[in-house]
Amino acid sequence: MVPKADELPVIKSCDGCGACCQVVTRPPFYQVFQENGEEAWERLRRDRPDLMAELSADYCQSQQNGGPFFGTPCLWYDPSTQRCRHYDYRPRACREFEIGSRDCLDARRRAGIH
């Protein structure tokens, strides 16, 4: 049964969570390997060729191995701190992911975080 909005727990902090980062495999940039991308992607291309190379190598390895493409922790997720290693460059999808939203609560539930 779908809970009513006022029955959902109120989440005010991402501290000790990281659930939404644990299933995307790599930073969910829009138009990752095409010419034009979202602003954060363009900034990454301009400022951090090292991160671009890391992303590209990881993607190529997945292509060769037939995956994974989803369902594993993000390449940029640091499990020891439970934070994004390159927070300033995180994609728009990560910036817009709303804490306390139903997707957030679902991610927490799947990860066993309450």
34: number of Cβ within 10 Å:
8
Q: Among the candidate windows 1-9, 48-56, 57-65, 90-98, which touches ligand SF4 by CB under 6 A? A: 90-98
Burial class (CB in 10 A: 0-12, 13-18, 19+), 76: buried
Q: Among the candidate windows 2-10, 15-23, 44-52, 60-68, which touches ligand SF4 by CB under 6 A? A: 15-23
108 binds ligand SF4, rule: CB under 6 A: yes
Asked if 41 contacts 86 with a C-beta cutoff of 8 angstroms, the reply is: no
By the criterion CB under 6 A, which residues form the site for ligand SF4?
Answer: 11, 14, 17-21, 24, 27, 74, 76-77, 84, 90, 94, 97, 99, 104, 107-108
